[in-house]
Structure 1
Amino acid sequence: MTTHVTIVGAGLGGLTLARVLHDHGIPATVHEAEASAEARAQGGMLDIHDGNGQPALRAAGLAEEFRGLVLEGRQASRALAPDGSVLYEEGDDGTGGRPEVMRGELRRMLLDSLPAGTVRWGRKVRAARPLGDGRHEVAFADGTSVVTSLLVGADGAWSRVRPLLSDAAPEYVGMSFVETCLLDADTRHPATAKAVGDGAMFALAPGKAIQAHRESGGTLHAYVALRRPREWFDGIGLPGAAGVARLAREFAGWAPELTALITDADTAPVLRPLHTLPAAHRWERVPGVTLLGDAAHLMPPSGEGANLAMYDGAELGAALAAHPGDVEAALTAYERDLFPRGAAEAADASRLHTLMFGDDAPHGLIEMLAGQQ
């Protein structure tokens, strides 16, 4: 196959696709809006699952490099009541199927596995349009453009490629996360560090939660969840002190070692509104273009998003390699499996969202976790 693949988005899914294509001798270029690999922080930890993320990395020939990134002991988890008492706890004995790594380190591993020049930085897509015969033009904000016979949208929730295939747009799920970090927590925030434990901690109640995980270097990375309209968050004054205080009042009466993840943060709070695409999002086959990751199947956080994106990338790369000279056969085969896979995971994510934040929280989730032991 000699068709050059144009990938929009240098996230984990787009980079996995580029790596698998490279291994099969298929040329590809990744266009990324960010100015460089270091332009912004790449988020916290990811648990890489044995059913999708890990097979994707094996397909990319990076299993050994991935193992070198794993943070031992971080698969431990605990559920706390709002008063700080422990409701559920599971240690990390090293046999779990979801080892934790830092997202930024995983992305750097993928970037380093690609030939120099594969990723073009500072290439923010302004628009994409069809030219006929399976060809598309991608126009960038800097005034340049490219024409391609195979375009892959790996550009996330607000994909500029998706409109070529679908009218679907992300919808707010009614809840937002506020992201914070406590640094050097064992020394500077010992009570909170003890509450979080060695891995992940979640304290849930109907419509709200304080969740955190322990990263490398003693950092506690928290996601404070609250069910409120977007306008409520826009009006409370985040990221300023007044907004932090207003958010903390929503957790009045909770244990101070938990609310410290809001009030004592060492980084400015970052608002993360949650959006979703329709659970059974799909499209009719359009020649020369497809999607992967959140561009294809955005869903509420479930731990599967990054794993699915990498798996999509690996599967698309494998399909293109298996159908040399026949792009449409490859894309048809890829999407035949993509649609039911995305729909099933979206349904699971919706159920998990209800267990975590619904009227029965946290009891339904704890019963589910206890049943898996």
Structure 2
Amino acid sequence: MTPRTPRIAIIGAGPGGLTCARVLQRNGVPVTVFDHDASADARPQGGTLGLPVTIAQEALRAAGLYEEFAALACPEGQEVRLLDHTATVLFHHVPAPAPGETGRPETGRPETGRPETGRPEADRSATDRSATDRSEIDRAALRRLLLDSLAPDTVRWRSYLRTLHPLGDGRHQAEFDDGHTEAFDLVIGADGTWSRVRPMLSDAAPHYTGVTFVESGFEDADTRHPEVARLVGGGSMRAESAAQGLLARRDGRGRIRLYAAFRGSQDWALDAGVRKEDTEAVRAVLLDRFADWDERLLTLLRDNDGGFVNRPLFALPVPHLWTHTPGLTLLGDAAHLMSPFTGRGADLAMLDGAELGGALTGHGDPDEAVRAYETAMLPRAAEAAEADARALADALAPDAPRGSLRHLRAAFGDPRP
């Protein structure tokens, strides 16, 4: 670092921002994290989070937290099923068994016909996960792991960034909603979809993709919802047809998370004359949308536990680029917001944070460190965002599930004779 250690602010205490802060502190660089939440536990963090093993290793080893992460995480179910609206199985990937396991196929194979009635398969041993495997961890547990690794008072809660004022020489004055101001040599925007730092670097704003996910779930699925558990299997299940889909996956702790996906207005509930908070009215609208689907698939909409959560999908333009500006940079969704379809948001954010923290501790000039980080991060993010956009478009295309079937055969092989 420079003779005068720069003052660094991270805006946002999500996985990416906290990973960056941990790497910096681990290397003796002071940093302050600002977050608008009232506390670490002020709001639910969501369910479990799937992280690719190789990326989790890279980011969390850089943070010195991989062993702690491994103790909290478990292998994510790797079985993959693709169905059409008649519940016919078009593709079924079953992961190869770990050494010593028997009675399971050595390779996945596509099948046709109805879903099996057997119980979901056990996860593979953690010692035999491939580079494409994923570990899952509760989001709240991951956040707590990262927070507990930081020095006391690193995170300042109830601190919503209102604006940034350039001071010259790369320094910026941050103004917060409680009226207090502080000057920093580097401000890192890790503040997600509606980043307050991004407008200082880019005119790009998140746009509605035209796709909405309506989320619901099933608790203790194997015991309380055995038919749903059998339909979904031991990993993920997607049923697609004519620009609509039902996307389900096991979410740890016996839970199955479901998304009813469709193209349409962001105001679909208003257009239908219902309130999003009215569970039975929303259920009726969804059942009408999927009216010609097989009854076993409609069970996913009829029998869920709890209500529905509306999740319109937003994304930044691809590629999202900006001219390097001394004293500012972005990571995670602030830099490369994409839909959650391929599940890349959190792992890319953590990798961003680890690489930015490493660059800042490995370069004598912080500005050159940020340049090096952006040079590597931006094309990687663009590639991931393009892949996500293609996969989402194919899954909800008029001829779906043809595109998804093509993607799955490319990813897992096509063992048809």
Q: Which residue, out of 186, 189, 196, partners 1:150?
A: 186
Q: What SS does the aligned partner of 2:261 have?
A: strand
- TM-score, structure 1 as length reference: 0.94
**Alignment: residue pair count:** 372
Which residue number corresponds to residue 133 of structure 2?
98
Residue 60 (structure 1) aligned with residue 63 (structure 2) = yes
**Amino acid aligned to 1:336:** T
Which residue number corresponds to residue 23 of structure 2?
20
Residue 170 (structure 1) aligned with residue 206 (structure 2) = yes
Q: What SS does the aligned partner of 2:306 have?
A: coil
Q: Report Cα offsets for 1:261-287 as digits up to 9, x if no partner.
A: 333332321111111111011111111
Q: Which residue, out of 355, 362, 369, partners 1:315?
A: 355
**Amino acid aligned to 1:239:** E
* Cα drift, residue 133 of structure 1: 2.1
**Amino acid aligned to 2:144:** R
**Amino acid aligned to 1:7:** I
* Cα drift, residue 360 of structure 1: 3.1
* Cα drift, residue 316 of structure 1: 0.5
**Amino acid aligned to 1:318:** G
Which residue number corresponds to residue 38 of structure 2?
35
Q: Where do 5+ consecutive residues of structure 2 fail to align?
A: 98-123, 413-417
Give me the identity figure in percent: 46
Residue 130 (structure 1) aligned with residue 133 (structure 2) = no
Which residue number corresponds to residue 327 of structure 1?
366
* Cα drift, residue 88 of structure 1: 1.9
Q: 1:366 to 1:104 in 2, by over 3 A?
A: farther
Q: What SS does the aligned partner of 1:26 have?
A: coil
Q: Which residue, out of 150, 153, 156, partners 1:120?
A: 156
Separation (CA, whole Å) in 2 of partners of 1:216 and 1:245: 28
Q: Report Cα offsets for 1:267-313 as digits up to 9, x if no partner.
A: 32111111111101111111111000111111222221111111111
Separation (CA, whole Å) in 2 of partners of 1:73 and 1:171: 31
Q: 1:174 to 1:30 in 2, by over 3 A?
A: same
**Amino acid aligned to 1:221:** R
Q: 1:218 to 1:50 in 2, by over 3 A?
A: closer
- 5 Å-filtered alignment, 1:183-332, equals 183-236=219-272, 237-240=275-278, 241-301=280-340, 302-324=342-364, 326-332=365-371
**Amino acid aligned to 2:84:** A
Q: 1:213 to 1:64 in 2, by over 3 A?
A: same
Separation (CA, whole Å) in 1 of partners of 2:222 and 2:315: 36
Which residue number corresponds to residue 71 of structure 1?
74
* Cα drift, residue 91 of structure 1: 2.8
Q: 1:208 to 1:56 in 2, by over 3 A?
A: same
Matched-pair contact (CA < 8 Å) for 2:36–2:159: yes
- TM-score, structure 2 as length reference: 0.84
Q: 1:278 to 1:230 in 2, by over 3 A?
A: same
Which residue number corresponds to residue 5 of structure 1?
8
Which is worse superposed, 294-303 or 42-51?
A: 42-51
Q: Report Cα offsets for 1:40-67 as digits up to 9, x if no partner.
A: 2222333312453431112112222222
* Cα drift, residue 223 of structure 1: 1.6
CA RMSD of aligned residues (A): 1.8
Structure number with greater Rg is: 2
Q: Report Cα offsets for 1:168-213 as digits up to 9, x if no partner.
A: 1011110011111221222322211221112212112232111112
Q: 1:246 to 1:331 in 2, by over 3 A?
A: same
Q: What SS does the aligned partner of 1:211 have?
A: strand
Which residue number corresponds to residue 362 of structure 1?
401
Which residue number corresponds to residue 47 of structure 2?
44
Separation (CA, whole Å) in 1 of partners of 2:199 and 2:289: 38
Q: Where do 5+ consecutive residues of structure 1 fail to align?
A: none
Matched-pair contact (CA < 8 Å) for 2:57–2:66: yes
**Amino acid aligned to 2:363:** H
Separation (CA, whole Å) in 1 of partners of 2:19 and 2:311: 25
